[in-house]
Structure 1
């Protein structure tokens, strides 16, 4: 009879050790999952609050300069998120080609692109005559600008 109690005690202790280790793994996994959901929520919130509009006139000669091969666009922050006025934070595509040779200048100066402020984008990209498209992406907000040279 004592041998049965001893084997039951050993099985009980082993099952408690296994249950404690499984509970520890689950607690750690749930903590990581909660942090990941929180981080994703912040990213989604930033994307939702970001909105920009290209306010340049597509029919204006000021959009493209034949002599310099420079495209100039004016982009207004119409969202509620303050953004950095830096070209490296804006993804640009000219006629489907990713463009890295661009400069962003905040109209009126400053170092923060606040809601209502306008940034001038100067893109060095020579173009042939015809129809063209510039697509810009800021925090997952996409805008397309079509113009003719």
Structure 2
């Protein structure tokens, strides 16, 4: 009878060790999953608070080649609640579907950060033929498309 109790005790201890190791693995995996969800939540929150609007007049002659350097000039307003970077590395521009590599960004107020309610001027170096054109501005996941005619 003692041998049955001893074997039951050994099996019980072994099952407790297996359960403890499985619980340790699950705890670590759940912790990593929780951290990933938190980081993704911060990214989504930043994207939700980001909103921009191109406020240039599509019918204006002040859009293309005003300086004689084959450049596109757009005014973009930060209409979201998030401070944005006002540098070329913080935004992506596409002109007629082609990635624009050469452009300048100028804040039109005295700040150093593109705050909500303020405007930046984009000077995109790109020659255009007469006709319809599109500029796509992407900032922090928010996209705006501006259509105009030259």
Residue aligning to 2:18: 18
Is the 1:87–1:121 Cα contact (8 Å) retained in structure 2?
no
**SS at the partner of 2:146?**
strand
Q: Does 1:58 align with 2:83?
A: no
* Post-superposition CA distance 1:28-87 (Å, at most 9, x none): 111111111111111111111111100011111111107311111000001111111112
Alignment: residue pair count: 149
Residue aligning to 2:4: 4
In structure 2, distance between residues paired with 1:9 and 1:53: 71
Residue aligning to 2:41: 41
- Identify unmatched segments of 5+ residues in structure 2: none
1:3 positional shift: 2.0
Is the 1:70–1:124 Cα contact (8 Å) retained in structure 2?
yes
1:108 positional shift: 2.0
Residue aligning to 1:116: 117
Structure 1-normalised TM-score? 0.95
In structure 1, distance between residues paired with 2:70 and 2:89: 20
* Post-superposition CA distance 1:79-125 (Å, at most 9, x none): 11111111211111100111121111101232110011100111111
**SS at the partner of 2:48?**
helix
After superposition, the CA RMSD in angstroms is: 1.2
